[in-house]
Structure 1
């Protein structure tokens, strides 16, 4: 999958509003009704003001059916492949299984748990903005759901990725602290290279992290937890111990299954590793580590 339009099939019209045009290889190509729904969701997101309640989305019954299918399939795979802590986080958040949750429906739970809230994301949010608002206990989240024809695949990060992947972690105090520290670090540093360094470590921990549990590797990263196929294949990856230099210098492809992953000994080990990095990172780190970006 090397066409960037597959995971960012959005343009802006002359008025500055988002419009989707799905390429031939995208599951939604040719579905005018789905395209209209996506455009409407994007318009609502573009109109939203951060800090105000997220807009309510009028999901189609096909969207709700897609959510139900995914929830059933992922619940089975989480029981087999997810870290025990993740299963506990998800149970505490208790997302509805019969319909696509509204962001405010989830926010009412997250605020009570850790103070975090999801805010609508439209397309790609600039990296400094995406990570920066984490310091304010906000997380940019997509509101659309993948096309019903391929419920177990999405070339884009959709509401399944946000709610199944990230939200349970945002509801846990220990892990939510890592999101906050990420935002504080990004706002503290000045160099784009340092922000890229932070992003890479975030990718290999909170997005695609695994831990060792009872002799097996189990997933806790959002990208793994929300991917039906990747959960079944991640143990075939080159799984290495946590290592800052290797994380900073390992290339990855956001459109493909990950071929290199990093494992902590426990969630607590990951927390200490990432938190220590985030508290100390500065604009000299890219040169000290020897990264080339």
Structure 2
């Protein structure tokens, strides 16, 4: 569960070149000077990196590897129970290491032969249009830091576990990867901020927090659910709504809480038709019409 209002902690670089990550007051590592310093070090590596150069490699500590091992072991049975088979198949194909934190170029080496996607380093928040434009080029911006070791099954912000275990496994599926790429390409087509937000909100309720039926059960495919130990225990109890683009693109949500409303596809075919089709065709006019429909229906 993400408890940061803006998801990612702000990052600043001081005049002396040092990088500071501004953790929220309720962050488990806020008063751990060593952790705060480590976060600045890792963010600084991404900030100093220039595209076209080798991705910065992080010399992870044994404690950081242990967090990865713990989360990988705890998520595995949850995935078998709650994840959609398309995600599980992709996860087996990608075969991420479970004994150490993978470098981002290691993730790319495994992912590119499957779907053509690659990973690049980000210090934290990437501007919305920049992030989505990269998705349109099959490139995923990923943080490289790990959550605080005191609470390995909890993170108040997306870390490399979310970015790689959640999204990386998802992107190893050709069908999920195509939908994500289409979302990125949609961002290049829409011009208004309102339309861009509409695209991002549909993405939130699908590729981040989407569920679908399989053999009579509701299964998760969204990266935000499948990278969160707690979210997987909660999603089955949430209000499920049918795929409804007007609703998905305008529903207010609180990223600091478990998502109380989820949109459930009846099948992967329906997800591709409705959500994938939307990303492939949306423009400023069609997004505005969907928003107007939401207003007429009293959704906003």
The normalised TM-score by structure 2 is 0.92
Gaps of 5+ in 2: none
1:273 maps onto 2:257 in alignment: no
Match of 1:193 in 2: 194
State the distance in 2 between where 1:61 and 1:47 align.
Answer: 24
State the distance in 1 between where 2:276 and 2:17 align.
Answer: 39
Match of 2:171 in 1: 170
SS of match in other structure, 2:249: helix
Asked if the contact 1:6/1:22 (under 8 Å) is kept, the reply is no
SS of match in other structure, 1:249: coil
Question: Superposition pairs for residues 28-43 of structure 1, below 5 Å?
Answer: 28-43=29-44
Match of 2:62 in 1: 61
State the distance in 1 between where 2:115 and 2:4 align.
Answer: 38
State the distance in 2 between where 1:19 and 1:223 align.
Answer: 26
Gaps of 5+ in 1: none
Asked if the contact 2:86/2:173 (under 8 Å) is kept, the reply is no
Asked if the contact 2:142/2:160 (under 8 Å) is kept, the reply is yes
Q: Deviations over 1:123-169 (max 9, x none)?
A: 21110000011121111111111011001110110000011110112
Asked if the contact 2:8/2:124 (under 8 Å) is kept, the reply is no
Match of 1:141 in 2: 142
Match of 1:52 in 2: 53
1:218 maps onto 2:210 in alignment: no
- Structure 1 residues 16, 238: closer, same or farther in 2, change over 3 A? farther
Shift of 1:16: 7.2
> How many aligned positions are there?
293
Shift of 1:11: 3.4
SS of match in other structure, 1:284: helix
Asked if the contact 2:90/2:173 (under 8 Å) is kept, the reply is yes
State the distance in 2 between where 1:111 and 1:36 align.
Answer: 33
Which of 1 and 2 has higher RCO (CA within 8 Å, sep 6+)? 2
Mean alpha-carbon deviation: is it higher for 1-10 or for 162-171? 1-10
Match of 2:113 in 1: 112
The normalised TM-score by structure 1 is 0.94
Match of 1:245 in 2: 246
Asked if the contact 1:41/1:143 (under 8 Å) is kept, the reply is yes
Shift of 1:53: 2.6
- Aligned-residue RMSD, C-alpha: 1.9
Asked if the contact 1:115/1:137 (under 8 Å) is kept, the reply is yes
State the distance in 2 between where 1:44 and 1:83 align.
Answer: 35
Q: Return structure 1 stretches of 4+ with deviation > 3 angstroms.
A: 1-7, 9-12, 14-18
State the distance in 1 between where 2:80 and 2:139 align.
Answer: 29
Shift of 1:2: 7.0
- Structure 1 residues 2, 263: closer, same or farther in 2, change over 3 A? closer
State the distance in 1 between where 2:222 and 2:172 align.
Answer: 14
State the distance in 2 between where 1:236 and 1:42 align.
Answer: 37
Asked if the contact 1:6/1:23 (under 8 Å) is kept, the reply is no
- Structure 1 residues 115, 15: closer, same or farther in 2, change over 3 A? farther
Asked if the contact 2:87/2:173 (under 8 Å) is kept, the reply is no
Shift of 1:31: 1.4
Match of 2:76 in 1: 75
Asked if the contact 1:181/1:279 (under 8 Å) is kept, the reply is yes
Shift of 1:5: 7.7
State the distance in 1 between where 2:244 and 2:53 align.
Answer: 39
